[in-house]
Chain A
Amino acid sequence: MCLAVPGKIIAVHDPLEFYRKGTVDFQGSRVEVSLAMVPEAEMGDWVLVHAGLAITRLEESEARETWKYLEEAGMILEHQEDEEHH
């Protein structure tokens, strides 16, 4: 009963408040998400987001393993880096 989607925190606002919010990036789509339930999550961390609320922190490598469409993005980035080196 729950669509929750993994994304990466790229900004944190109101860092001192319980009701702190952040910007989570989903490969280009950005949502202002409440971080109230993940006090341990920091900039650069991955979180699982449901209806505008981050419900847990995720380990990036495990997240890429579980959600295959994230792996694709990883591969694209690697390819781009290769091109830049040539």
Chain B
Amino acid sequence: MLRGTGTAVSGEMRNTMKTRADDHVMLVHGGGGEMTRRFLDAHVLPGLANEFLDPLLDSAVLPPVEGSLCMTTDAFVVQPLEFPGGDIGRLAVCGTINDLAVMGARPLALSLALVMEEGLPLAVLDRVMASIAGAAGEAGTPVVTGDTKVVERNRGDGLLITTAGLGVLDEGPRLAPGRIEAGDEILVTGPIAEHGLAVMVAREGLGITSRLESDAAPLAGLVEAMVSSGGEVKFLRDPTRGGVAGVVADLVEDTGLGVEIEEEALPVPAPVRHAAELLGLDPLTVANEGKIVVVAAKGAGERVLEACHAHPRGKGAVRIGRMVRAEPPLAELITSIGGRRIIQRPYGEELPRIC
């Protein structure tokens, strides 16, 4: 993520980090002794309590499970730590849950590793932990094990989180790019570009305030609704970094087929569109944390969309395009005037432009 000073904690937060000793994280909290125990009891464990975590053993013991296991992990370094609609904690849970969900796996358990910078305000940590507990609760998936470390001031970004997730794949055809064929329909489960823009706008220094909110949400339930809708779902991917453009570029690369997306069909809410214009960004390249791009069999889209609409997290789902046979295979946008242009994976971090 964009860093201003090389340490991405805001100036305001840095000032807060210099105040009273008992208001912030200290090196001794990560030392492993009594202080660590008390710190965990006061600030980390309470919201997470569950039968697998509570014994606090070196490893959590989980019950036996039938089916192939899925495992995923992600590190979260977002700045600012807190933004409208969420925070790094919510992101860390939802991101990992969704990586399991888009494989068609049922999430079973999460691990949580925190690296905190000395001086991180405890009030911030408490809010982030509450978000983690909330998101895990929403996802119905317990945090069963974890770790905390504290690093010296100016060696961290305030707070870095790594989560890993374990899930199980039930029997049945796997969701995989290999199943995709020309004619398959491409859907998205709701409005795009909300998360990335909300976070960018929330960064200090840009001088913009907005009502945009991150869409971060756990989606295992939505995936289940789609997969059991009666319409054939072949492949899912969440358009996080790189946005829908990144997923579409992946589809072309993985299948050797072309992709056509209809610009008029893209669900971009007016305030999001306007904020993107302001910063010179293309909504297709902006990150989403609560949406899924779906490839459904030709003719199956309607059923899948109905299932989405019936689920609280899929209200704005729409068809946005299709897989096509094309030589060479390209990802193309059919523009509002009926022209065409290429959709490319964005270079990396999109920056606000004036030109």
* A contact set with B: CB distance below 8 Å: 1-3, 5, 7, 26-32, 49-52, 69, 72-73, 76
Say how far B331's CB is from chain A's closest CB, in angstroms: 23
| Chain A residues in 8 Å Cβ range of B280 | 3
A73 to B272, CA, bound (A): 11
Query: Is A26 in contact with B354, judged by CB distance below 8 angstroms?
Result: no
Cross-chain contact of A28 among B271, B353, B355 (Cβ < 8 A): B271
Q: Which of the listed residues B208, B273, B278, B280 has the most CB atoms from chain A within 10 Å of its own CB? A: B278
- Total inter-chain residue pairs, C-beta < 8 Å: 57
- Count the B residues whose beta carbon is within 8 Å of the partner chain — how many? 18
Query: Is B355 in contact with A29, judged by CB distance below 8 angstroms?
Result: no
14 contacts between A and B (CB under 8 A): A2-B354, A3-B353, A26-B277, A27-B270, A28-B210, A28-B271, A28-B274, A29-B212, A29-B271, A30-B210, A31-B208, A31-B278, A52-B207, A73-B270
Q: Is the interface of A mostly helix, strand, loop or mixed?
A: mixed
- Residue interface mask B251-294, A partner, CB < 8 A = 1: 00000000000000000001101110110100000000000000
Query: Is B354 in contact with A27, judged by CB distance below 8 angstroms?
Result: no
* B contact set with A: CB distance below 8 Å: 201, 207-212, 270-271, 273-275, 277-278, 280, 353-355
A9 to B320, CA, bound (A): 35
Say how far A30's CB is from chain B's closest CB, in angstroms: 5
Query: Is B209 in contact with A26, judged by CB distance below 8 angstroms?
Result: no
Query: Is A29 in contact with B273, judged by CB distance below 8 angstroms?
Result: no
| Chain B residues in 8 Å Cβ range of A69 | 270, 273-274, 277
Cross-chain contact of A3 among B209, B274, B354 (Cβ < 8 A): B354
| Chain B residues in 8 Å Cβ range of A52 | 207
Cross-chain contact of B355 among A2, A26, A49 (Cβ < 8 A): A2
Query: Is A72 in contact with B355, judged by CB distance below 8 angstroms?
Result: no
Query: Is B207 in contact with A32, judged by CB distance below 8 angstroms?
Result: yes
A83 to B353, CA, bound (A): 39
A51 to B355, CA, bound (A): 9
Say how far A14's CB is from chain B's closest CB, in angstroms: 16
| Chain B residues in 8 Å Cβ range of A28 | 210-212, 271, 274-275
| Chain B residues in 8 Å Cβ range of A3 | 277, 280, 353-355
Query: Is A29 in contact with B210, judged by CB distance below 8 angstroms?
Result: yes
Query: Is A27 in contact with B208, judged by CB distance below 8 angstroms?
Result: no
| Chain B residues in 8 Å Cβ range of A2 | 354-355
| Chain B residues in 8 Å Cβ range of A27 | 270-271, 273-274
Query: Is A26 in contact with B274, judged by CB distance below 8 angstroms?
Result: yes
A7 to B201, CA, bound (A): 16
Cross-chain contact of B275 among A29, A49, A50, A76 (Cβ < 8 A): A29
Say how far B281's CB is from chain A's closest CB, in angstroms: 10
| Chain A residues in 8 Å Cβ range of B271 | 26-29
| Nearest residue, chain A, Cβ from B277 | A5
Query: Is B354 in contact with A29, judged by CB distance below 8 angstroms?
Result: no
Query: Is A5 in contact with B354, judged by CB distance below 8 angstroms?
Result: no
Query: Is A30 in contact with B209, judged by CB distance below 8 angstroms?
Result: yes
A52 to B211, CA, bound (A): 19
Query: Is B270 in contact with A29, judged by CB distance below 8 angstroms?
Result: no
| Nearest residue, chain B, Cβ from A68 | B336
| Chain B residues in 8 Å Cβ range of A76 | 270
| Nearest residue, chain A, Cβ from B281 | A3
Say how far A12's CB is from chain B's closest CB, in angstroms: 17
| Chain A residues in 8 Å Cβ range of B355 | 1-3
A17 to B240, CA, bound (A): 45
